[in-house]
Amino acid sequence: MADAQVQIKKTVTENDVVLFMKGTKSMPQCGFSSRVAGVLNFMGVEFSDVNVLADENIRQGIKDYSDWPTIPQLYVKGEFVGGCDIITEMTLSGELDTLFAENGITYDKDAAEKIREANA
């Protein structure tokens, strides 16, 4: 398990945006992972995806690392942001835009607005 923690820390610190998810960004394997990956993809955010189904140690390890019980988990600049519900709320409120802007993460503001319009 210690190896998983080291690997997770390395992944979240070496990549600006990381999504620990079930499946991959091109082939999500659960609805919640699909929703968060879909938001990031639609907003044009470059992100690394980690398929927790591929490694049981990472699957449990990420829950221990963040002290958060569910997958997916989004990290921006090494900080845990949240799971599906939190990311959905942040997207709709515009907080996610702010978080990306403050951290120098490139995203498509028009796409973010389209998501909000579609969910208004």
* Cis amide bond preceding 72, omega within 30: yes
Do residues 60 and 6 touch, judged by C-beta distance below 8 A?
A: no
- Do β-strands 48-51 and 73-76 pair in parallel, antiparallel, or remain unpaired? unpaired
Q: Report phi then psi at 82, rounded to 5.
A: 160, -175
Structure tokens at 77: 């600049």
Q: Report phi then psi at 43, rounded to 5.
A: -80, 0
Tell me: is residue 84 an annotated ligand-binding position.
Answer: no
Residue located via tokens 């997916």: 72
Per the annotation, binding residues for [2Fe-2S] cluster are 30
Per the annotation, binding residues are 30
